[in-house]
Amino acid sequence: MKVEENDRAVHGLLEEEHRRCKDILQSLLDKMKEYPKGSLNVRKKYYKDNVYHYHYLVSREGGAVVNRHVPEEKLPLVREHMKQREKYQKEIQSYRKRIAYLERLLKIPKLQRSRDKHSS
Amino acid sequence: MTNILRNNLFPKEIHTLLRTLSNVGFFDRSTLIGSWVMPIFQEIYHATYVLKTLDVDFAVHVAHSNSCLRADLEQIITSLGFVDYVSAGGVQKFSSGGYEVEFIAHRKGSRNDDAMQVREWNIVAQPLPLISLLLDFSEEALLDDFIIRYPVPEAFFIHKLIVAQKRRSPAKQSKDLEQCAVLMNILRDDPLLHIMESVRLGRGTKGHLRTSCTALNFPLHRLGL
């Protein structure tokens, strides 16, 4: 009987950790939305003897590739935000891995896992 | 005499975080709380415990709600590689490598659960009752070359006895009581009674204490109940 009680306690802790990870993942995803997605692209324009550099933020929206011009003065800020976004992505990745691991341990059916994924 | 802790007591990320907080004077009044205090008790008082959490909690001492900025902890912690986010309850948290850092402040009287802006440290803390118990009865230890503050085991024990009965999650409740059971053997009677005499506890809170003590088979008279 004691063994079963201990198992339940451990299972409860794992469930708690699973819930905690999912909450954090959602909060991190929400926060990441504040930063621009995509990558910076530079286009060179030649005019007379001069070369002009124009920066674009390239991202995918739906099926289309969208180029958004980034003014020179906003470039440092955009670069900083992109770095931030990368940090969040890295953190999100580690939580996704942990959630997957916990779901295997907790034997959560795949159907429920994908349903949860879509709802978050 | 200051207690001296082993240099490698905490993982590298937590060690760096503690050092950074110590360097800005955070541990002058505020303390490390939660399960991460258990390794300290294990080191100093030989209370054996296996750590099972990645949450790192700090009790933040709020001198005055309008205190001027002492150190920008948001900026300092994110510069260590943590990312900050706001939880569903509006509390600011920091995350890195799976570790989650949170600040908790003492909630006075009212049941207002709104997140608390702490200007002195530029953070948003979660207000909870009875945190002053941990802040008021704390001690210091030397870790590597810096000082950290943590609650005395007796205050930690009493706090856990109370919160265990307030938990909604049975797993968390059993974790709280498990920590209490580990600490039971190292508790000193004088500090226990001194803390109990110093704090004003309501009838409900005393009821929580009794329930937890009964579950742990801990003599009530040691708490003056």
* Chain B: closest CA distance from residue A120 (Å): 13
Distances (CA, A) of B160 to B131, B150, B222: 11, 14, 16
Backbone phi, psi, residue A43, to 5°: -110, 135
Distances (CA, A) of A3 to A9, A10, A14: 10, 11, 17
Residue A112, pLDDT > 70, answer no
CB contact under 8 A, A94 and B55: no
Name the residue among B95, B97, B172 with its Cβ closest to that of A24: B95
* Chain A: closest CA distance from residue B93 (Å): 9
Q: Which residues contact B225 (CB under 8 A, 6 or more apart)?
A: B196, B206, B209, B210, B213
User: What pLDDT is stored for residue B5 in this prediction?
Assistant: 94
| Residue A6 banded pLDDT, cuts 50, 70, 90 | low
User: What pLDDT is stored for residue A116 in this prediction?
Assistant: 57
CB contact under 8 A, A31 and B83: yes
**How would you write B177-199 as a 3-class SS string?**
HHHHHHHHHHCCHHHHHHHHHHC
If you search the block for the tokens 């009680």, which residue do you land on? Answer: A5
Backbone phi, psi, residue B147, to 5°: -100, 135
Name the residue among B84, B95, B170 with its Cβ closest to that of A12: B170
pLDDT one-digit tens code per residue, A25-48: 999 999 999 999 899 999 999 998
CB contact under 8 A, A31 and B172: no
CB contact under 8 A, A98 and B171: no
Residue B216 burial by Cβ neighbours in a 10 Å radius (0-12, 13-18, 19+): middle
| Residue A73 banded pLDDT, cuts 50, 70, 90 | very high
Residue A57, pLDDT > 90, answer yes
A interface with B, Cβ–Cβ < 8 A, is: 9, 12-13, 15-16, 20, 23-24, 26-28, 30-31, 84, 87-88, 91, 94-95, 98
User: What pLDDT is stored for residue B1 in this prediction?
Assistant: 53
Residue B68, pLDDT > 90, answer no
Mean pLDDT score across all residues of chain B: 92
Mean pLDDT for the stretch of residues B109-118: 78
Name the residue among B52, B86, B95 with its Cβ closest to that of A91: B95
If phi over 0 gives left and psi between -120 and 50 gives alpha, with beta otherwise, what is residue B166? alpha
Q: A91 to chain B: which residues are within 8 Å by CB?
A: 83, 95-96
| Residue B89 banded pLDDT, cuts 50, 70, 90 | confident
Indicate the SS3 state at residue A62. Answer: coil
CB contact under 8 A, A91 and B83: yes
pLDDT one-digit tens code per residue, B17-56: 999 999 999 999 999 999 999 999 999 999 988 877 889 9
Name the residue among B87, B170, B175 with its Cβ closest to that of A23: B87
If you search the block for the tokens 């995918």, which residue do you land on? Answer: A60
Residue B133, pLDDT > 90, answer yes
Q: Directed axis angle between helix B170-183 and helix A2-32, to 10°?
A: 110
SS3 content of chain A, % helix, strand, coil (to 5): 60, 25, 15
User: What pLDDT is stored for residue B172 in this prediction?
Assistant: 87
ipTM exceeds 0.90, yes or no: no
If you search the block for the tokens 């941990």, which residue do you land on? Answer: B134
**Alpha-carbon gap, residue B50 to B38, rounded angstroms:** 8
Nearest Cα residue in chain A from B100: A24
* Chain A: closest CA distance from residue B213 (Å): 20
Best CA proximity match to A69, nearest among A84, A59, A81: A59
Cα angle: B31, vertex B73, A94; to 5 degrees: 90
Please give the share of chain A, as a percent, with pLDDT higher than 70. Answer: 85
Residue A52 burial by Cβ neighbours in a 10 Å radius (0-12, 13-18, 19+): exposed
Mean pLDDT for the stretch of residues B77-89: 91
* Chain A: closest CA distance from residue B4 (Å): 32
**Alpha-carbon gap, residue B48 to B87, rounded angstroms:** 33
Best CA proximity match to B126, nearest among B85, B91, B100, B159: B91
Q: Which residues contact B214 (CB under 8 A, 6 or more apart)?
A: none
Name the residue among A13, A24, A95 with its Cβ closest to that of B175: A13
Name the residue among A9, A30, A95 with its Cβ closest to that of B174: A9
Residue A118, pLDDT > 60, answer no
| Residue A4 banded pLDDT, cuts 50, 70, 90 | low
CB contact under 8 A, A94 and B88: no
Which of B57, B95, B174, B176 would you mutate first to test chain A, the one with the most A CBs within 10 A?
A: B95
Q: B174 to chain A: which residues are within 8 Å by CB?
A: 9, 12
Domain boundaries, chain A: 2-119
